[in-house]
A = this chain, B = another copy of it.
Amino acid sequence: MSTLKGNAVVGQSGGPTNVINQSLVGVIQNIKANPNIDKLLGCKHGVKGVINDDYVQLNNVPDELLERIARTPSSALGSTRDKPDEAYCKKIFENFQKNNVRYFFYIGGNDSADTARIVGEMGIKAGHELHVFHIPKTIDNDLRVHDHTPGYGSAAKFVAQAMMGDNYDNKSLPGIKVNVIMGRHAGFLTAASALARKYENDGPHLIYIPEAGVSEEKFLADVDAVYKKLGRCLIAVSEGMATPDGKTYAEKIASNVEKDSHGNIQLSGTGALGDYLSGLITKNLTPAGGKKLRVRADTFGYLQRSFAGIISEVDAKEARTVGRKAVDYSADQKNIEGSVCMTRKTGSSYAVDLHLESIKNVARETKHMPKEFIQNGNDVTQAFLDYARPLVGDLPTVGSFAELNK
């Protein structure tokens, strides 16, 4: 194969994370590892920047600034929810031809991986050789093949710390509390709330994820049982919480729901699900003695993906590494496409191996929580906790007077 010389484009796509800029900085800092690449162009707002010819030159950004950008939440180049069709991809490709772009590094989820794949295939057909590399990110942790994805650990850390604090809040002023956590199809992020537990009877007491459907009757019976036992109940639910027939509660609630540009129903940026569930509890459960139930709901919303200062250090390091590695892989001319993939090493301490996986094995379809991570349809297993803990890292040290009774 001939040596492919030209320019490179790097872009960020989809929902931001707290470490997506680590991957970007990994690409920028390592770009010299591929001597065939001349200019590195950052496209503003993902592929939208490509078709608008809106680029920023990234070859000579000072390291001091790069290190600050790496610790900054969200996508420093801007992001997009555009899901390019054939015509859109053609425009991308034509811009790449015009700018002599031969390498495309796209940081995103499964939709972004698919975009990269299509543009790469167009290149092959048109005789404009183009090597495309997908750099994974998603707080949903739902990419196939990947053991886990950069962005998940930091969002999971936010969820765990939020739930830790809310557990103490709920213990101090007892009642029933519903916390709605991101996750349309995959329950990994909601499941991470279980990491908050330290003492006996700590919440969350119930965890509902999209993969384990629950009827309203079962949900209410679960809540009632916990409340009767503990006098309080802390509940974690995924925004994609579903009934046993696979229909989401969000669909049930909303007669007139907003759909995003991928045709997905809007689940974030609204308190509707939390308010629905707290209303359901208030209407159906009555505590002993006719006292009024204290029922509240919080929707963690966008904070969980972009809160400044809550970063898993393992996640940050891995996000940087997959960015750097993409450039390393691009230097090997036999790699014409691929997604930078982490698999977990077997053994007692946590470590990952990296390899380049064909994008077609990552694109479009998503991964779900495996059965061995789910317990009774309303909790997670020890296997899940063992899986998630190293990705999240240390949580704040806390204490309770309960220790005096030990």
Contact = CB atoms under 8 A, between A and B. Distances in A.
A264 to B, nearest CB: 13
Interface in A50-68: 56, 61, 65-68
Contacts of A268: 296
Contacts of A69: 398-401
Interface string A12-43: 10011010000000000000000000000010
A298 B303 contact: yes
Interface in A254-306: 268-272, 274-275, 278, 295-303, 305-306
Given A172-B16, A272-B271, A397 B71 contact: yes
Contact of A308 (B66, B164, B302): B164
A24 to B, nearest CB: 10
A318 B163 CA distance: 26
One complex includes copies of this chain to the number of 2
A294 to B, nearest CB: 9
A274 B272 CA distance: 10
Given A65-B399, A271-B274, A404-B61, A168 B72 contact: yes
Contacts of A67: 399
A138 interface: no
A244 interface: no
Contacts of A166: 302-303, 306
B401 A309 contact: no
A268 B397 CA distance: 27
A307 interface: yes
A305 B286 CA distance: 28
A319 to B, nearest CB: 16
A41 to B, nearest CB: 12
A88 B322 CA distance: 63
Given A15-B173, A65-B399, A162-B303, 4 more contacts: A72-B399, A165-B303, A165-B306, A270-B296
Interface of A: 12, 15-16, 18, 42, 45, 56, 61, 65-81, 161-162, 164-166, 168-169, 171-173, 177, 196, 268-272, 274-275, 278, 295-303, 305-310, 395-401, 403-404
17 contacts: A56-B404, A65-B404, A71-B399, A72-B399, A76-B172, A77-B401, A78-B173, A80-B173, A166-B302, A169-B302, A270-B278, A270-B297, A298-B301, A298-B303, A299-B299, A309-B310, A310-B310
